[in-house]
Structure 1
């Protein structure tokens, strides 16, 4: 008996360090690349690529190495999409549905971000790019869970300011590229003007790759969030890509976007961490509306700032070797808020339970354990208003807005579209499919009840914020 006990103790002593090391190294690195205002139809794998003036071989290959989603959904604008990703909550809850010039905006410090959860789970956290969910002390990335940040606080069209008619920097905004470590006030690196706008995405990659290298050297899992500035207007390519395609600036930028993704993927391979790194790539919303920088949403109607499919559907792909099946494609509904709970299953953090989290865990869906998404539909907000509901292959509009410069039309009778047979949302089906109306209205009422249970944070709410009751 003694001999058996001794053997078991010996086995425990020998095996425990191995198990600990295995657990440590099995904690995957996570890289999330987000592009800015790239439409569903731009990449080759989504029917664009060469048809749009530039092949996208690296992103097409990435899609084949994991799962491509055809029905990944975001918010109609930059800020709400980014806050939805960061918090797993619909922006109507967090007061981040829009930005009003001259008014405080962004996430309050009460929100718990994905970066804070990653940090608590033992990850090094770095953000390299456009933030756009807060531009005052207390609301920068390094105040919201990131160990380091290099990039811009607001939107890329600010890079045009210094070149515009009668610009006066003594009273106008002087946009800057900044850097910061956790606990620091961001320091200015240089002005964010049109030349810096051309160069910034290359700089973001260099900083991100340095962060990845340092994390690997320290034997620490990392979460790298890289929200690029392209192809947001002004859509101007890096000098290395200017004229590269012969098809104009937009195509040159599309080639650059593909190249930047390839740089990150090559760095992952060079660091020999491919098998233990989750890579996610997606766009924050639909394409630009303004000529000459407008993009395409492929077969879907409309662009950003609307409730059309071209605003809500965005390209998305995820690779995790040995876990996410290769060459998998799905038209199942997934929403950007789902990423926070899903990555929790991967990184090992718990989803906050002291507030409403709208995202659902898609781990089993992404890893091929089930064919169906855990999400059937979602309410559609544009700014603070309910524009409709999307459920299965059905879409209900309560308000219609042609584009961001149009006047919204409040509909007397809801309009229903079948997104499978009618991707352009042209043929109303009120008579043929009236039965779906009460289904979707019930879901809207259920969502509104949650807003009564946990009142939304209002736009412009200052810190410190604590919910009442």
Structure 2
């Protein structure tokens, strides 16, 4: 089934305007702001200066800190616990348990999103946006499941993940004739093509190239008079956390701080490009991460005041930085602890852009426009179920968390299921060390468990897609 038939068309495409003078004089239509969505890889809550990191992590982050001063900084922005599910949630507005993307794919087999899923790139494209993906995809590695088949006009990057950069230098992998990951690129309606092998040398260079290509895409979009959606999933600071040669040794504190310095510089280059295009006032600029901090020695990250790494239900896994700027619309310098989940970005930005949200499936994201604009201090969300892979490991409600599994000491091993749940007051116990098991706190079980019950009922009404489901997928055929 053609995706365009599954969605009602969004708002009509804004008429093209004639360019007069230089690019610096060109503006995208005010009704459709540009969106730059920067997604770092395994960047923990405690890495950026305004979140308590920066110089304490060996590298100041002045450009990102300044961005926070110019926009809204969230301290309770939540994500899924792994790379693939988190990216799926952002692009579809649906918890990944629904779409068969709840876990990182390992080994052979069909991976990624089915063509039935509708990405924000598709709905923004239908609304007249130029759409570009520059960076790490990790939502499908076969032709037909790459970004240019999921709503993006063009893409550049890697289909899977950065640890595969080790493979080309591994003699055993060479002897086994393993197929190495390549950097790829493609355009909508065409087959994606392979570029150089993604090895440790390219690992150091790729984020610089991502930045260059993103800036070029923004310039071309402004030249064409089209609003643009630039999705920029960088590869840093995923292990191996190796900085570009231009930044190697810059901080004097090692590879990880050098990579943080590179990250800040790359973000700064994107911000400068937006200014050079005279597009600052009409560009929503987001900086965030896909999940909690890197857990692999010697590239371990920081979860700040929280505890835990990615692949866990701990707050360190779920809470990541989120900064958003839109001058004249989002109040500058605001900080909020209201609960927001990454699925909320889909309906929120779709509403701002005048684009459609699918009506034929559950969309878990809730619109947060008034909250972002500061017309209300209250988030539209009070909680959410916590899945790690396909396990419902907990639920968050307001400042409370209820967990059904023990904490994960080893971030890869499945934790033990608890005989009875534990509850934590995250305000008084941010590190989740003192469970509130007494009767005094039992009152909060009702609203928390209602979130679980409602979601489980939704899964009964709308069966999840199984990982590896081939295209075409038709939900009506699922029994």
Same-fold call, TM cutoff 0.5: yes
Residues 305, 403 of structure 1: 8 Å contact kept: no
Residues 337, 358 of structure 1: 8 Å contact kept: yes
Aligned with residue 58 of structure 1, among 63, 66, 86: 63
Aligned with residue 466 of structure 1, among 470, 474, 478: 474
Q: Please name the residue that 2:245 is paired with.
A: 239
Alpha carbons of structure 1 residues 262 and 439: separation in structure 2 relative to 1, 3 Å:
same
Q: C-alpha separation between the residues in 2 aligned to 1:355 and 1:56?
A: 40
Q: Please name the residue that 2:152 is paired with.
A: 146
Q: Please name the residue that 2:91 is paired with.
A: 86
Under a length normalisation based on structure 2, what TM-score does the superposition of the two structures give? 0.92
Offset, 1:407: 4.0
Alignment length, in residue pairs? 452
Offset, 1:23: 9.3
Residues 284, 325 of structure 2: 8 Å contact kept: yes
Residues 86, 290 of structure 2: 8 Å contact kept: yes
Q: C-alpha separation between the residues in 2 aligned to 1:128 and 1:405?
A: 28
Q: Please name the residue that 1:255 is paired with.
A: 261
Under a length normalisation based on structure 1, what TM-score does the superposition of the two structures give? 0.94
Q: C-alpha separation between the residues in 2 aligned to 1:423 and 1:403?
A: 20
Offset, 1:445: 1.2
Residues 306, 403 of structure 1: 8 Å contact kept: no
Offset, 1:173: 2.6
> Is residue 265 of structure 1 aligned with residue 275 of structure 2?
no
Gaps of 5+ in 2: 1-14, 18-25
Residues 46, 302 of structure 2: 8 Å contact kept: yes
- CA displacement, residues 197-248 of structure 1 (integer Å, 9 cap, x when unaligned): 0000000011111110001111111100000000000000000000000000
- CA displacement, residues 41-62 of structure 1 (integer Å, 9 cap, x when unaligned): 0010001100000000000000
Residues 27, 222 of structure 2: 8 Å contact kept: no
Q: Which has the larger radius of gyration?
A: 1
Offset, 1:188: 1.4
Q: Please name the residue that 1:408 is paired with.
A: 415
Offset, 1:17: 12
Residues 377, 389 of structure 1: 8 Å contact kept: yes
Offset, 1:277: 0.5
Offset, 1:22: 10
Q: C-alpha separation between the residues in 2 aligned to 1:138 and 1:169?
A: 30
Offset, 1:446: 1.0
> Is residue 343 of structure 1 aligned with residue 343 of structure 2?
no
Moved >6 Å (runs of 4+) = none
> Is residue 455 of structure 1 aligned with residue 463 of structure 2?
yes
Tell me the secondary structure at the aligned position of residue 235 of structure 1. Answer: coil
Alpha carbons of structure 1 residues 23 and 146: separation in structure 2 relative to 1, 3 Å:
closer
Q: Please name the residue that 1:196 is paired with.
A: 202
Q: C-alpha separation between the residues in 2 aligned to 1:383 and 1:17?
A: 45
Q: C-alpha separation between the residues in 2 aligned to 1:436 and 1:259?
A: 44
- CA displacement, residues 121-176 of structure 1 (integer Å, 9 cap, x when unaligned): 00000000000000001110000000000100000101111112422276313110
> Is residue 31 of structure 1 aligned with residue 33 of structure 2?
no
Tell me the secondary structure at the aligned position of residue 155 of structure 2. Answer: strand
Q: Please name the residue that 2:4 is paired with.
A: none
Q: Please name the residue that 2:430 is paired with.
A: 423
Q: C-alpha separation between the residues in 2 aligned to 1:313 and 1:453?
A: 30
Offset, 1:100: 3.4
Tell me the secondary structure at the aligned position of residue 84 of structure 2. Answer: helix
Q: Please name the residue that 1:44 is paired with.
A: 49
Q: Please name the residue that 2:22 is paired with.
A: none
Gaps of 5+ in 1: 1-15
Aligned with residue 155 of structure 1, among 139, 142, 161: 161
Alpha carbons of structure 1 residues 434 and 264: separation in structure 2 relative to 1, 3 Å:
same
Alpha carbons of structure 1 residues 169 and 279: separation in structure 2 relative to 1, 3 Å:
farther
Q: C-alpha separation between the residues in 2 aligned to 1:17 and 1:231?
A: 39
